[in-house]
Amino acid sequence: MAEIITPDWVKHAVFYQIFPDRFARSTRLTKPSNLEPWDSDPTKYGYKGGDLLGVMERLDYLQELGITALYFNPIFQSASNHRYHTHDYFRIDPLLGGDKVFDALLTECKARGMRVVLDGVFNHASRGFFQFNDVLENGAASPWLDWFFFEGVHPANAYDRTRPPGYKAWFNLHALPKFNTDNPQVREFLMQVGEHWIRRGIDGWRLDVPSEIKTEGFWQEFRQRIKAVNPDAYIVGEIWEDASEWLRGDQFDGVMNYLFTQAVIGFSAGPRVRTEMVDNLEYRPPGLTGEGYADRIDRLLKLYPWPVQLTQLNLLDSHDTARFLTIAGSDEGSLRLATLLMLTFPGAPCIYYGDEIGMTGGRPDRWVRKTFPWDRPAEWNTDLLDFYKQVIALRHAHPALRTGMYQRLCAERDTYAFARTLGGISLIVAVNVADVPRAVEVPLAGLDTVPSSAVPLFGAPETMAISDHVLGLTLPARSGVVLDVSPGLPPG
């Protein structure tokens, strides 16, 4: 197997996922009049009017949080508030501020050392996509007929949801006609879209439902052409299960690591999980013990080569899941434990906008896409925000938490401890998910050096002592600690 090379910057990044219509709305942009009030409940089809200038005005906030990379849900011209119905792949949606505002945002992000990754929806287009719309107008006479999969009946049924659409569509949704990527013209069009925005200055692509594209060699060519423009570009796929076939070094650099999401929900939230909120995530009541979580993590870390593990996009929730706090029955302790585990895990952590201030939202999707309450500070959980800042700063301060090797040390019913080691530095992370304090004995003999002392970097154990190559801890209820145990002598 050829050497697998993944972008180094991703290994050190902390991502923030932004749903553009709901994150921030600038008063400096003129908007249509028929927008929903920002503070009103979200609806399936309504627009709130969030925009990219609003994002630019909040970059100070994001940098203070410790964010170094932004992942945007789709921003191309579209007739839906989520913009997965792409009309024009070469134009930023005017409701978001258009191309000039996007260029200004890119410039400002680059000046701050922040990366930008866009959502690439290449499996399907929309009814408003020019080539598909031409078929709706001209039927079998359209020159663009073979860009899609029509079933021979024209005019196609693009709007009556009581009848089949008459063409292949993602999830059989009339609004999302599937591209015929076996058509060389379609394939070339999508490759050029990918190249265009990389040349324009973005730092990578998050690929929507890439497993739906079955055309042989499609993603291999996509990688080759994107990396030819920028070898450092990040290519991350939305794959919810074992993604081994896409992570061999010839297609994606990483995937949205929902396998980690499933494990961390099961361990940190356990019996608190509202099962109706995890219908699209693997969850078996009452969750995972420390041993079960450790075994799941061990299997996950064996799935992919180490350079890929370091560029996985790790997340607790997203626009496609209920928010973690809602999943956990509003238990803030579960969110803190899960966040600590994510920020100390190999790969790039990704925070869904607003989680850091305690935003909630369950299924269906519109409730997980509520607006950020910028003008309602009373709704902010500022203690939780401070916690996020501390844990993110901890990750930035310690390279071992970003690229250090990962080693399981011990796991019991309610506790789990592991080490991250790099260049003679050894950090130990230990968590207790129980509602009462737990004593933990962490064996140290397997480390490169046997420490004689431990320095708390985060959290405070009730007791702590090292004896006979064992670190003894008493962890408070529902808590975690990070310890530096680097000082020591070679074993033996």
Q: Which residues are catalytic?
A: 208, 238
Q: Is the bond preceding residue 155 a cis peptide, omega within 30 degrees? A: yes
Beta strands in 94-217 (DSSP E): 115-120, 204-207
- Tokens coding 29: 């942009």
Q: In what order do the strands lie in the sheet with 405-411?
A: 405-411, 415-422, 425-432, 479-484, 455-458
Q: In 10 A of CB 463, how many CB atoms?
A: 10
C-alpha–C-alpha distance, residues 67 and 134, integer Å: 43
CA 173 to the chain's CA centroid: 25
Tell me if 427 sits within 8 A of 417, measured CB to CB. Answer: no
Kindly state the tokens that stand for 71.
């992942």
Question: What's the CA gap between 399 and 11, in Å, rounded?
Answer: 10
Residue 406 CB coordination number (10 Å): 18
Residue 16 belongs to what H/E stretch?
strand 15-18
Tokens for 283, please give them. 């969850």
Nearest partner of 290 among 420, 400, 408, 464, judged by Cα: 408
CA 33 from centroid of its chain's CA atoms: 33
Residue 170 dihedral angles phi and psi, to the nearest 5°? -60, 125
Structure tokens at 11: 């290994």
